[in-house]
Amino acid sequence: MTKENVFISGASRGIGKDIALLFANNGYKVIGTSRSDFSIDDNLYNFIPLKLDITSRNDIKDCFDYLKSENLLPNILINNAGITADQIFMRMKDEDWDNVIETNLTGTFNLSKIFIKNMIKNKSGRIINISSVSGLMGNPGQVNYASSKAALTGFTKSLAKEVGSRNITVNSVAPGYIDTDMTSFLDNDAKEKIINNIPLGRIGVTSDISELVMFLASDEASYITGQTISVDGGLLMY
């Protein structure tokens, strides 16, 4: 697979930002999207920042039309955008459920649906979904988030079976506790308890995720599909 166009949702910070920078610095043309302002260096010659609401199919269609007109349709799609709205189940509001499912799961569906057609036409492509160990092991206070991420496992496996004959791989990466904005609210005591349950004895860093994503997008990973790979320091073994 030649180094072509990479589309990354949720690219303005955290894991998505690190993935975008890694691909851009390795010569890929990167289209990074976010609903918020970008903190990434948008002066990178091969990085194109776009504001996009992945829950809006009209906005996605407009984005698709723009990318097509500029010959920027991606052959690598990284569905990274995700939100949390943590609350114990009995106190969870309907909108907390709806918003998380709509962004984390339906947003992945929306982007995959519109971009996969070009991959099928070209008989080449990579789709990489960023999930979470919460979707594999569950987590109190995250019924909505864990459900959305667990659903990505079924999404990944089913889509991989559908498009494998077209030389398209579909995989998922499930980060554990990674040092990002999503874990910044944890105090030192909470972090210590978490680390005590991680065999490698540390919180992960964003490069632990981005390097695996880069590998899954490469020619070397052409025989890997339908997999959900945990990157959690061994947490899921417990």
Question: In degrees to the nearest 10, what's the CA dihedral of 20, 22, 27, 33?
Answer: 0
Measure Cα distances from 215 to 47, 58, 93, 171, 231 in Å: 20, 32, 39, 11, 13
Q: Residue 39 in contact with residue 29, Cβ under 8 Å?
A: no
- Count CA within 13 A, CB hemisphere, residue 122: 16
Catalytic position from the list 145, 177, 223, 238 = 145
- Count CA within 13 A, CB hemisphere, residue 128: 29
66 is catalytic: no
What 3-state DSSP class applies to 125? strand
Residue 69 CB partners (closer than 8 Å, separation 6+): none
Residue 13 CB partners (closer than 8 Å, separation 6+): 34, 36, 39, 180, 181
Residues serving a catalytic function are 145
